[in-house]
Amino acid sequence: MTGQNRTLLVTVAVLVALFAFCASQFPFVVSTRVIGNLLTDNAFLGMLAIGMTVVIISGGIDLSVGSVLAFSAVLLSMLISKRGLDPSVAFVIVLGIGTTFGALQGTAVHVLRAPAFIVTLAGMFLARGACFLLTEDSIPISSATYRKLSDAGLPLGGGAHLTFSALILLASVAFTALLLRRTRFGANVYALGGDRRAAELMGIPVGATTACIYAYSGFMAAAGGILYSLYTQSGYPLAGVGLELDAIAATIIGGTLLAGGYGSVWGTALGILILGLIQLYITLQGTLSSWVAKIVTGALLLFFMGTQKLFSQSSFGTGLFARLSVGAGRHRTFSTEPSQ
């Protein structure tokens, strides 16, 4: 627990430092408007990262989320613009497909005992291919509901609004945090990530839990697709290419261990804000190109893995102290040889 708090503290420290740096260069960043936009602009990525966090805590990985997001957005635009379906019905259909797709992947991971990496790689190809089968063009969405939803929002003060997307993101973070910390399912997720075999022997329904974990990720990816279609007012089959990597990066920067069994969705939310701030700084700065973001993200990944290594039990840090005290204790207890 202390280790978790410490890695989360590092994430908070990085976020505060980044924000202070941005604010020192561009004072207007300290406004509710900018912060509200930060949430809105990263809402769809945030949804993917939330699902990814649950999967990674359980010791798996889900590479299909970016493609599922694109597929959901494309299907929405087809259903609404071409078929004239009501958006609310279309949302239910898309969420259902995303969840089913995820559940199938989870079942495959469990039944085939295959690495999640490869199963979800197949899912990624399949969902992306399905996008192209539906359409090869960008399809605009024009619907009254869409306009209403993207205009809706809670006033934040200072002329800013917490948009519908931002609200959904915040609600999803809170819900997932409760799910992970306060329910049996959440405990099972941590147990699976800690030691799959031990979890099985403890009587945890490993198969059902795995299916649910990937279904949750699929649901979140489909929800991300809905937010993405709200954000761009269209569906485009090439949308969200490589977004799964950003989601994984946000999760790791948020302090979740890729080995599983350890992490929190709050950290992931902070990780999303960190990635968003880097992007914001580059946009404001104007002369930097997008490759700076890539290098900075890579450096942050390395930094956080180093931090985790430092704080995790098996390394120095707390590990070293534990080993030292154990060593000292053993010396006292077992030194039965007669002293010279």
CA distance 106 to 100: 10
We find the least distance from the C-beta atom of residue 311 to other proteins, in angstroms, to be 14
We find the least distance from the C-beta atom of residue 186 to other proteins, in angstroms, to be 23
Q: Check binding of 238 to other proteins (CB under 8 A).
A: no
We find the least distance from the C-beta atom of residue 306 to other proteins, in angstroms, to be 8
Q: Check binding of 245 to other proteins (CB under 8 A).
A: yes
Q: Check binding of 13 to other proteins (CB under 8 A).
A: no
Q: Check binding of 75 to other proteins (CB under 8 A).
A: no
> Judged by CB under 8 A, which stretch of 19-27, 171-179, 200-208, 298-306 contacts other proteins?
298-306
Q: Which amino acid makes up residue 336? A: T
Q: Check binding of 301 to other proteins (CB under 8 A).
A: yes
Q: Check binding of 282 to other proteins (CB under 8 A).
A: no
State phi, psi for 160 to the nearest 5 degrees.
-95, 155
Q: Check binding of 23 to other proteins (CB under 8 A).
A: no
Q: Check binding of 320 to other proteins (CB under 8 A).
A: no
Q: Which is nearer to other proteins, 209 or 297 (CB)?
A: 297
Q: Which is nearer to other proteins, 1 or 295 (CB)?
A: 295
Q: Which of 16, 178, 302, 324 binds other proteins (CB under 8 A)?
A: 302
3-state secondary structure the chain: CHHHHHHHHHHHHHHHHHHHHHHHHCHHHCCHHHHHHHHHHCHHHHHHHHHHHHHHHCCCCCCCHHHHHHHHHHHHHHHHHHCCCCHHHHHHHHHHHHHHHHHHHHHHHHHHCCCHHHHHHHHHHHHHHHHHHHCCCCEECCCHHHHHHHHCEEEEECCEEEEHHHHHHHHHHHHHHHHHHHCHHHHHHHHHHHCHHHHHHCCCCHHHHHHHHHHHHHHHHHHHHHHHHHHHCEECCCCCCCHHHHHHHHHHHCCCCCCCCCCCHHHHHHHHHHHHHHHHHHHHHCCCCHHHHHHHHHHHHHHHHHHHHHHCCCCCCHHHHHHHHHHHHHHHHHCCCCCC
Q: Check binding of 295 to other proteins (CB under 8 A).
A: yes
We find the least distance from the C-beta atom of residue 101 to other proteins, in angstroms, to be 12
We find the least distance from the C-beta atom of residue 237 to other proteins, in angstroms, to be 8
Q: Check binding of 259 to other proteins (CB under 8 A).
A: yes
Question: Site for other proteins (CB under 8 A): how many residues?
Answer: 41
> Judged by CB under 8 A, which stretch of 46-54, 86-94, 147-155, 303-311 contacts other proteins?
303-311
Q: Which is nearer to other proteins, 65 or 108 (CB)?
A: 108
We find the least distance from the C-beta atom of residue 67 to other proteins, in angstroms, to be 9
Q: Which of 12, 15, 187, 292 binds other proteins (CB under 8 A)?
A: 292
Q: Which residues of 291-318 are buried (b: 16+ CB within 10 A; e: fewer)?
A: eebeebbeebeeebeebbebbbeeeebb
Q: What is the Cβ-side half-sphere exposure of residue 148, based on CA atoms within 13 angstroms? A: 5
Map the footprint of other proteins across residues 121-150, applying CB under 8 A.
121-123, 125-126, 128-130, 132-133, 136
- Of 268, 253, 274, 255, nearest to 19 by C-alpha is 274
Q: Check binding of 114 to other proteins (CB under 8 A).
A: yes
Q: Check binding of 118 to other proteins (CB under 8 A).
A: yes
Tokens of 289: 């190109």
We find the least distance from the C-beta atom of residue 60 to other proteins, in angstroms, to be 11
Residues that bind other proteins (CB under 8 A): 61, 108, 111-115, 117-119, 121-123, 125-126, 128-130, 132-133, 136, 245, 248-249, 252, 258-259, 289, 291-295, 297-299, 301-302, 305-306, 309
